[in-house]
Chain A
Amino acid sequence: MDLSYGPEYEAFRDELRAFIAENRHRAPAAPGAAQRAGADAVAWQQLLLEHGYTARTIPREYGGFGAEPDILTSRIIAEEFAAAGVPGGLSNQGISMLVPTLLELGTEEQKRRWIAPTLRGEIVWCQGYSEPGAGSDLAALRTSAREENGEFVINGQKIWTSTAHQADMIFCLVRTEADAPKHAGISYLIFSMKTPGIEVRPLRTMTGHAEFNETFFTDVRVPVDQIVGQRGQGWMVANATLGYERGMLGDPAALENRLAALVQLMHDERIDGVRAIDNAALCDRLVALQAEVAAMKFNGLRLLSNSLKGEPGGLAKLIVKLQSCELAHQISALAIDAMGELGLLYGGSRRERAGGSWQWNYMFQLGLIVGGGTAQIQKNIIAERGLGMPREPKLEHARAPKAEAA
């Protein structure tokens, strides 16, 4: 067990700390999920790009900093921005999902055209994967794209397109091979959200906000070269991106921050004049969550060491999404309980605490438990890939998905 990073890394850490201290006045407030990053956030992103504190390992010709991949350096960057409470640059589906996918599977032309402006925050992307009839069974998607005069003509509907209303572009899964088996008929297209025939309707959720959208396509025409990978390979391309998303949804530093906020809340809230943190039952729950957060933190360090050694993460990795999302939800649940009746206040009410964010989180995190692979799908993955248990037998007469009629 050696938890030191060594002198070179500590020097890098000191440098980064000095940078943050010097420049933090230029950092934007944490961006709201439903808003496009403002000018200050974009400027901050560009400053970080210049110094290599974001997109550090992306080659220079694509707008990155071009450093050699180094897990500990990335880790230090994540740690220091989290500890300072300053955003470590833009975090969106374009940067976290599309860029890695293009780097791995895009053509040279696609990389040069799309990666740099995405990194700079000039192009915002949304993800067109799920459909009303294709959730956990994503490969059952029916949105169709038929080829016609050098263009794909797209018809169908996507759901949970979170940033569609502000996006410039979409990366989208469509069925191009109507007669191919389910997984082999899908292609991965990228196209402008300004293309005629696209309609975005906000999807209001239980939080009272519209964090997501439904996106409808009617005869949307996209040049055939706007495909990532080959025709029929979209499932493989998408799986490369889903891996990045699951990584995004299970960040132990985020859990530690939520827990620290909960501890602060329980110091501040008083019940009959007694701090909530001194209430035996509430405190018992808090310590139980603290232990679980610690366990996930060390699980994360173990995964970090595994990847440094080039060893697979195994079970320790497969469980992260399931456990982290559940834990985040429970942290919010305890916050609401610690506030008692005050925990109900929402929507800008008088006496509301923290802008109603605990209630919003409590509800939204339920969405995260479902999104990005439901808890039940995660359990299948853990059982099948982690424990080697048998798959559910396939139904003999399972219906093949039909492409949307054009």
Chain B
Amino acid sequence: MDFGLSPEQRMLRDAVDRLLREHCPLDHVREVAEGGHAVSAAVVAALSELGLSGIMVLEEHGGLGLGLLDALVVAEALGAAVAPVPFVARCVLAPLALRLAGTPAQQARWLPRIADGSARFGVGLTEVVNRRDGGGVTAADGTLSGSALFVLDSADADAFVIADQGGQLHLVAGEADGLERLPLSTIDLTRSVGELRLDGVAAEPLGEDDGGTANRLVAAGRVLLAADSVGAGDVMIARAVDYAGEREQFGRVIGSFQAVKHMCAEMAARLEPCRSLVWYAAHAFDAVPDEALLMACHAKSHTGEVGRFVARTATEVHGGMGFTDLLGLHYWFKRIGFDRQLLGGPEIVRAEAAALQGWGKRAA
């Protein structure tokens, strides 16, 4: 019995933290974000050195062959550092899609290249979760048409995994004819999302199912986004506590006022259980398939709610300074905001969790 991270996972976390302290201080994040890139080549290269581009690629294809709980450890660290690197889609969801649904030929073609960083994927799953007007992709005769919105890690991608409206996954080349790639700029300048317009674009089906693989990918993505918020939330609380311990008003540090102290305590009290929840959700994904989808929903929706509370409260503890660009606190605020909305906000995800349990049905 051991609920928690293994010694290897703790070492992984330490290694990633160390690397990010060196290569990804706030000044660097700011430089990348303000330059409009959302991707730091230097940090990507450093993470690749650790083999993290192949974290989900099996060893036979040149990767580390690890599971979602390992990837979660990395996601938490990246969230803590607000690191502008494509990780969730590129290093986890794309190789996972190939692992779960790819033919041996597709796996042999792509997985080694994902592992060595020479194939850079973006992943479009938004319409599996909730299709908005103007979004949605249909498949016909080996081609895709329509628009995929909020394709994750899309900016510098040279291939895509795209879900059509039926939940079937497809592989699409980045330079395919009829593919138009449009950037979407969000509040979070450390992540890259885009819109793909497809007009009869040649696509290769990835597996053949009724959306089961797409749903599993959504679940994995949700767990990682939740973990990102746990990491980012940790830092926001730590910064709020530090600030409250330095800032003086009325002749004392504001952290000695209960009004301020209680804000910090509430943040910690609400975020701390989220850590165990996301751990378990990742573990369920790896090892308890019956619970995987529901636990991913719980992790995503609950951490989304707590994340918003922490982001807002930690900013408030900083008073007027929190609202300025000077402290850069808003990078974490926006990162948490991004984690909350992508792949379904709390209400959408809770409705899904209800449906999984046969609740929330319309009267017959």
Contacts and interface: CB of A to CB of B under 8 A. Distances in A.
B353 A299 contact: no
Nearest to A290: B298
Interface residues on A, range: 35 or more
Given A278-B362, A286-B359, A298 B261 contact: no
Interface string A61-80: 00000000000100000000
Interface in B1-20: 1-6
Given A290-B298, A295-B277, A315 B3 contact: no
Interface stretch (A151-159, A192-200, A382-390): A382-390
A296 interface: yes
A96 interface: no
B276 A290 contact: no
A274 B354 CA distance: 15
A383 B262 contact: yes
Contact of B298 (A266, A294, A380, A390): A294
Nearest to B9: A1
Contact of A380 (B258, B273, B277): B258
Given A295-B274, A305-B1, A376 B302 contact: no
A354 interface: no
Contacts, number: 167
Consensus secondary structure, chain B interface: helix
B42 interface: no
A291 interface: yes
A363 interface: no
B305 interface: yes
Contacts of A6: 1
Interface stretch (B118-126, B158-166, B206-214, B249-257): B249-257
A292 B277 CA distance: 9
A291 B302 contact: yes
Contact of A316 (B272, B295, B299): B272
Contacts of B245: 389-390
A386 B265 CA distance: 8
A387 B271 CA distance: 13
Contact of B363 (A273, A298, A322, A382): A273
B173 interface: no
B1 A302 contact: no
Interface string B336-352: 00000000001100110
Contact of B350 (A288, A296, A309): A288
B265 A287 contact: no
Give the one of A273, A274, A294 with max B CB within 10 A.
A294
Interface of A: 1-6, 72, 266, 273-274, 277-278, 280, 283-284, 286-288, 290-292, 294-296, 298-299, 301-302, 304-306, 308-309, 315-316, 319, 322-323, 376, 378-380, 382-384, 386-393
Interface of B: 1-6, 69, 237, 241, 244-245, 252-253, 255-258, 261-262, 264-266, 268-270, 272-277, 279-280, 283, 287, 295, 297-299, 301-302, 305, 346-347, 350-351, 353-354, 359-363
Q: 3 tightest CB-CB pairs across the interface, nearest first?
A: A298-B276, A295-B273, A291-B298
